[in-house]
Amino acid sequence: MKKNQSLLAFVLFLFASQAYALSNGECTFNNQKLTYTGVNLPSLNDIYKDGEVLGQLTLSASYSCKTYHVTNVGGNAGVVLQIGVLGARHSYLGGNRYKSNVSGITLESSYVKQVAGYNNELHLVRFSKPAYSNQQNVNGVLNLPIFDVIKSGKISSANSVSLNLNSPFYLTSHLYDSGDGYGIFMSPNSVPNTAPIPVYNASCNVTHPTNVQVPALVKGVRDEVSSYFNIALNCADKSVMQNNVQLTVTPVNMTNVSLSSDKSTLLYNGNSQMVIMNIFNNLGSESQMLFSTMYEFSNDSQGSSFTIPMRAKFQLGSSSGYGNFSFQTQITVRYN
C-alpha cells in the first residue's frame, strides 16, 4: 500500500528593526507619565481654601539624547544640550501659574523660562561641559515634580479627575537662546494626563433635635430632671474629618434667661419660675461643659460621622412656683 505524504513548508520571515542614529541635539522620549501625589481633591472649599497647595504633579520619562558640538551658544558657555517643554505657554496665566484642564485647580511651576525662543515654557534639564562632551550619547530618566497643584475654586466632578495643563504640551530638546540653525526636536506625543484622582464631597451637616423635651419638674417630688440627646456631625467623605471635632453651645438671648459669671449655668427666672440648667457631654466619662466655650474631641475612629451624646440637667430653684419655662441655645460644630 502506498502512503500519501503531505509536505508542510514553513517560510520564516525575519524582519530587522532599523536603528536610527540621533542627530546632534536630538532626544527621543519614552514612557512619558504625569503622576499626582497629594490629598484627594475636595469638590468644595470647606477644608482647603483657594490658594492652598493640595499636592504635586511629577513628570517622568526615559530619554535618549545626543549632545551638540558647541563651545558657546547664546552666552551659555559649555551648554551642549537642554530639555524642556513646548506648548505650556498656551495654558499660561501669569507669574508662575498655569491653567489646568480641571475647573477649580491651578498649576504652579518653578521651571518657568524661555524655551527655544518661546516665553513661559518649562526649562527642565541642561547637559553642560565638562560633565558631557560634544556629540555624546546620553541616556537617562526624568523624574521631576514640575507643578504644585493649587486649589482655586469648586471642582464640579463628583467622582474623579485626570489632571494636566489646559492645552497639550510636549517634551523637546533644544539649545536655550541658540538662534536659528541648531534645530528643535519635539516628541510627537504630548505628555498624558494623570491617572484618575478621587474627588470627594467636602460638605458636612449637623443633626440634633430641634426641641428637647424636659420631663415635668414637681417641687418637693421631682426637683431635678435630665434630658438626653445626641449631636452628630455627618460628612460625605471621611477625608473631611480626619483629626478633631469642636463643639460650642452658646445661649441665645431670651427674656428671663441669664448666664452665670463662670459660664457654667443658665438661669430662668420669670413668671414665678426659677429653673437652673447645666449641660454635659458623655463621650467616655461624663463631663460638664461651660456655655459659650469651645470643646475639642479627637476623632480616633477616623470615620465620616461623629456623635456626641449630651445631657441637659434642670433643677428647680428654692423659690420656684408653677408654670412654663424654656431655654434656647445655638450649637456650633467645627472639624479639621
> Is 90 part of any domain?
yes
| Predicted pLDDT at 107 | 97
pLDDT above 80 for 187:
yes
Residue 223: per-residue pLDDT: 87
Predicted confidence (pLDDT) at residue 45 exceeds the cutoff of 70: no
93 pLDDT more than 90: yes
pLDDT higher than 70, residue 177:
no
Q: Which of 130-134, 151-155, 167-171 holds the top average pLDDT?
A: 167-171
The answer to whether residue 106 scores a pLDDT higher than 90 is yes
Residue 317 pLDDT greater than 70, yes or no? yes
Residue 157's pLDDT band, with cuts at 50, 70 and 90, is low
pLDDT beyond 50 at 197: yes
Q: Is the model's pLDDT at 336 over the cut of 70? A: no
Do 116 and 262 belong to one domain?
Answer: no
Same-domain pairing of 196 and 239: no
pLDDT tens across 285-305, in order? 899 999 999 999 887 777 788
Q: Same domain for 169 and 124?
A: yes
pLDDT of residue 3: 38
- How far is it, in rounded angstroms, from Cα 93 to Cα 105? 12
* Banded model confidence at residue 236, pLDDT cuts 50, 70, 90: confident
Cell reading at 218? 414637681
The domain of 156 spans 27-200
Burial (0-12, 13-18, 19+ Cβ within 10 Å), 84:
buried
Pairwise CA distance, residues 245 & 64, whole Å: 53
Q: Are residues 125 and 256 in the same domain?
A: no
**How high is the pLDDT of residue 19?**
43
Average pLDDT over residues 42-57: 81
In a shared domain, residues 229 and 324: yes
Give the pLDDT of residue 49.
Answer: 78
Average pLDDT of 115-134? 89
Residue after which a domain boundary falls, among 174, 200, 226: 200
Instruction: Give this prediction's pTM.
Output: 0.62
Query: How many other C-beta atoms can be found within 10 angstroms of the C-beta atom of residue 252?
Result: 9
Q: What is the pLDDT of residues 262-288, one digit of tens each?
A: 999 999 888 778 899 999 999 888 999
Identify whether residues 43 and 137 lie together within a single domain: yes
Residue 65 pLDDT greater than 50, yes or no: yes
Q: Of 200, 228, 260, which residue sits at a domain end?
A: 200
| 142 shares its domain with 229 | no
* pLDDT above 90: percentage of residues in the chain: 46
184 in Cβ contact with 22 (< 8 Å):
no
- Rounded Cα distance between 315 and 298, Å, is 31
Q: How many domains does the chain have?
A: 2
| 37 has pLDDT over 90 | yes
Residues 81 and 166 in one domain: yes
pLDDT exceeds 60 at position 10: no
Same domain flag for 165 and 232: no
In single-letter form, the type of residue at position 294 comes to M
116 and 85 both lie in a single domain: yes
> Sign of the C-alpha dihedral, residues 132, 137, 143, 144?
positive
Burial group, residue 42, by CB count within 10 angstroms (0-12, 13-18, 19+): buried
Give the pLDDT of residue 279: 96
User: In terms of DSSP bridges, do strands 273-281 and 224-235 run parallel, antiparallel, or are they unpaired?
Assistant: unpaired
Average pLDDT in the 236-252 region?
A: 80
Q: Print burial letters for 253-271: b (CB count within 10 Å at least 16), e (below 16).
A: eeeebebeeeeebbbbbee
Q: Please give the pLDDT value at position 46.
A: 59
